[in-house]
Amino acid sequence: MRKNIVAGNWKMNTTVAEGVELAKAVAAGSSEVPSSVELIIAPPFTHLVPVAEVVGGTRIGLSAQNCADKEKGAYTGEVSADMLVSAGCKYTILGHSERRQYYGETDATLVDKVKLAISKGLSPIFCVGENLDEREAGRHFDVVSEQIKNVLYTLSADEMAKVIIAYEPVWAIGTGKTATAAQAQEIHACIRKVVADKFGALAEEITILYGGSCKPGNAKELFACPDIDGGLIGGAALKAEDFIAIALSF
């Protein structure tokens, strides 16, 4: 059975103390959310250990926002999958459009990151999505299909079973513009079909999240779509009550 998940990507926001308070508020609100909905938060690296203490023993899963493509060694400034696991992470976001756009992350690097993360026991939240030019040129299905093929087609079925996909149209991230439920559903269905072309029935089990200006006011309509299994939430994840309200939208 595929899971319903609401994951909060805090990006480069909050101090450690603010992050701990936010995590406490999310943990307090989580009792309202049905147990069928999985909750994940992805604070910055510096916050992981103290936030792990807050969410340890709760139902909230801890995620990083990125992880290194190398196992260990002389890679100054990088954080490895082993380090994330030792800090309490079960997940890591990989291939977020901000990493692709501002830090030159490519599909080739992402193959290494995804495989390494899975080999260390992390579930990647693997992000795909087209930019505005690609959407306006009607290339969004092709762009997203290529991202999936270039990275996820290199995985075995056992590895693929660990992956959560997040469809995040770049033009909708942090812009206040949301894909309509119909736009999101048609591309989520396409993503599931692309996964099925390689992995068969496993595609039905894969959780596919929508991300891009998802908020309490639009989450219900999005989550009602048959191929949208939840959300990757940016801005609205910085307010515990909005994050919880989104999680209550199934």
Residues identified as active-site: 96, 168
Q: 10 Å Cβ neighbour count for 91?
A: 23
Question: For strand 164-167 and strand 37-42, is the pairing parallel, antiparallel, or unpaired?
Answer: unpaired
Q: Which is nearer to ligand PEP, 122 or 199 (CB)?
A: 122
> Is 9 or 207 the residue whose CB approaches ligand PEP more closely?
9
Size of the site for ligand PEP (CB under 6 A): 13
Task: Count other Cβ atoms within 10 Å, centred on residue 77.
Answer: 5
Our finding on whether 131 is near ligand PEP (CB under 6 A) is no
Figure out which of the listed residues 235, 242, 243, 244 binds ligand PEP, where binding follows CB under 6 A: 235
* β 60-64/208-211 pair status: unpaired
Choose between 166 and 206: whose C-beta lies nearer to ligand PEP. Answer: 166
234 binds ligand PEP (CB under 6 A): yes
- Nearest-10 crossing angle of helices 181-199, 140-152: 40
Residues 173, 237: contact at Cβ < 8 Å?
no
- Separation between Cα atoms, residue 110 and residue 151, nearest integer Å: 7
Based on the shown chain and the rule CB under 6 A, indicate whether residue 174 belongs to the binding site for ligand PEP. Answer: yes
Footprint of ligand PEP on residues 177-216 (CB under 6 A)?
Answer: 211-214
Q: Could you say whether residue 95 binds ligand PEP (CB under 6 A)?
A: no
Residue nearest to ligand PEP (CB): 234
Nearest residue to 6 via CA among 36, 28, 31:
36
Interface with ligand PEP, residue 173, by CB under 6 A: yes
How many Cβ atoms are within 10 Å of 185's Cβ, its own excluded? 18
Q: Which is nearer to ligand PEP, 6 or 199 (CB)?
A: 6
Binding site for ligand PEP (CB under 6 A): 9, 168, 173-174, 211-214, 232-236
